[in-house]
Structure 1
Amino acid sequence: MKIDRLLTILAILLRKEQVTAPELAEQLEVTRRTIGRDIDDLCKAGFPIVTRQGAGGGISIAEGYKLDKNLMTKEELQNILIALKGLESVDATSRLGRLVQKLTPASDAVVSLKDNIVIDLASHYKDSLSKKINLLRTAIEQRRIVTFAYYSDKGVTFRTIGPYFIVFKWSAWYVFGYCMARQDFRMFKLGRLWRLNLTEEKYSIGMIPPEKIDFDAHLRDDRDMVILFDESVEYLLVEEYGPASYTKTPDGKLLFQRGYTNLDFTLRWILSFGDKAEVLAPADLRETVGKIILKTAERYN
């Protein structure tokens, strides 16, 4: 949008003593002619912008025109910039980059992000993830229905939803919306969502029941499992659940007890430890794991 571009130009000029039209054009991804028109519009609006031609020339703010930058503390501004840079890792557009540029002080002595905190919310399929997120953002802003193919343990189904939120939780990205087929609110993992299509059909916003927006309720731990782990995988348990998630037995084994809901996910997780894990309870989970191991052994034999 033009107003966003004009504000970005002002922010750049307030941070730098002088900048050239080609530099602005490259940063804002527009032509030099567009920059020229934008500068004229800013001057007409009363902003004291000075343009100097020739070698060493450029565009600058007239001396004496300053912006009070003490609205936020150093720590507050740094936290905002860190969060924005994290979101920028999954944003395929340049809008977040421009916002970071507006807020970044001219001097690293004011706020430094070097060797501090880096948040990368992308994954190995960053390009497709960014496209999905940006399409869903458009759908949410414009209240437009989306359709997609969804891959799950039940096979491939085709869904139509009115999206409400894009959620990053449990180390993955999801879209939360009203599913037309189920006539209810659902969460869909973006990694399993493909052939996403933005339709022209609109949807109306309704009230979301409080229990539906409690995203943690989607992972209720309905049953308890007890597993005996080899001490060599202790670091993996600590990484995922913390050192308080298990107790050490006299022979050095790790006794792990935790609730679980999704059987398919739980089986994959247990089997990922190979012979370093033994399920003690419940009996049906132990039996299922044993059958999978025997079937796998038969295949390799």
Structure 2
Amino acid sequence: MKISRLFQIIYIILEKGIVTAPELAKRFEVSVRTIYRDVDALSQAGIPIYANQGKGGGISLTEKFILNKSLLSEKEQDEILIALQSLAAVRYPEFDDILLKLSNLFLKSNVNWIEVEFSSWGSDQKQKEVFSLLKNAILKQQVIAFSYFNVAGEKSDRRVEPIKLLFKDKSWYLKGYCLQRMSCRTFKITRMSDVQPTGDPCSHAASQEQPATVSSNDAAPAAISLKLKISAKGAYRVYDDFSEKDIIKNEDGSYTVNASMPSGEWIFNYLFSFGPLLEVIEPPSIRLEMKTRIKNMANKYSPIT
């Protein structure tokens, strides 16, 4: 966020010629002292920026200043543009404008070669709104309230000081300081509902340095080793879901997969998502449970008398 503010300060001064610290402080919702620290940071970075005191004074740049390659290398320019494109994906309203201005200054015309979309395929607008809400709460350092379902399906109401969003193993998580548990916790976003901003400021700044923990109900279950056989028609799932080192391609075109997965009810829903493409070879307990569940499902479709 600070880097974005620094670039915006430069653009505002380039457009207006001179601007006062209180004006900038009001625009960015920070203190005047913070603005002067930003000016010092820009000066140390080699930007010819200075502040004049007294009537008619303000913050300005050396006349005819241009942000060019003497300040940033070609690689650094590309990295800044890529970072801004990624930030634009979280729909922070000013990043698109900054990206356009910087690409023009850097004489970069092809800035649309990458697009970052944080929501999953087919997700609805509500999911995107939740993600945006969490992002804004983190940036503004405000407490959020929500209901949460743990791995046992138990619901609890939480008030959390959000710290950061994490992406791990195809899922998004929120790391934050839970005011109920009085410690840092990690919450899976798909298990959060009724997410609401409270407007209350975060007060546990030091919590950002604490390792996130999970409650006993949310602790990761023990891993279970599986041997699966997946037909050739399931190739698209094989390489999407499993590591190449765990895959053996058989002569008939099918695949044998040796994988380690967390145990629990979810694993049966996952295995059944392959439909007739998958057969569990090992362990016998999972194979037997799959057979039992298939039989129970089939019984539900017996002729109605």
TM-score scaled by length of structure 1: 0.68
Residue pair 2:8, 2:98 contacting (<8 A) in 1 also: no
In 1, Cα distance between the equivalents of 2:289 and 2:184? 32
Deviation at 1:230, TM superposition (A): 1.0
After superposition, residues 1-301 of structure 1 pair within 5 angstroms as 7-10=10-13, 45=58, 64-91=64-91, 93-106=92-105, 110=108, 112-114=110-112, 116-123=113-120, 124-125=122-123, 127-141=125-139, 143-152=141-150, 154-199=153-198, 200=200, 202-206=202-206, 208=209, 210=211, 212=213, 222-301=223-302
Distance 1:126 1:90, change over 3 A: farther
In 2, Cα distance between the equivalents of 1:46 and 1:203? 33
Gaps of 5+ in 1: 15-27, 29-42, 49-60
The letter for the 2-side match of 1:203 is: S
Instruction: Give the superposed CA RMSD.
Output: 3.8
In 1, Cα distance between the equivalents of 2:185 and 2:291? 33
What is the total number of aligned residue pairs between the two structures? Answer: 255
Distance 1:201 1:81, change over 3 A: closer
The letter for the 2-side match of 1:261 is: P
Q: Deviations over 1:243-283 (max 9, x none)?
A: 33211335443111111115233222211111111112222
Q: Which moved more, 1:79-88 or 1:252-261?
A: 79-88
In 1, Cα distance between the equivalents of 2:237 and 2:266? 16
Q: Deviations over 1:41-87 (max 9, x none)?
A: xx964759xxxxxxxxxxxx98x443333333333322332232123
Distance 1:262 1:87, change over 3 A: farther
SS of 1:263's partner is: coil
Query: Residue 58 of structure 1 aligns with which residue?
Result: none
The letter for the 1-side match of 2:269 is: R
Deviation at 1:297, TM superposition (A): 1.6
What is the aligned-residue identity percentage?
21
Distance 1:279 1:112, change over 3 A: same
The letter for the 1-side match of 2:68 is: D
Q: Which moved more, 1:166-175 or 1:266-275?
A: 166-175
Gaps of 5+ in 2: 18-26, 28-55
The letter for the 2-side match of 1:186 is: R
Distance 1:171 1:244, change over 3 A: same
Query: Residue 23 of structure 2 aligns with which residue?
Result: none
SS of 2:145's partner is: strand
The letter for the 1-side match of 2:189 is: L
Residue pair 1:145, 1:201 contacting (<8 A) in 2 also: yes
In 2, Cα distance between the equivalents of 1:237 and 1:2? 45
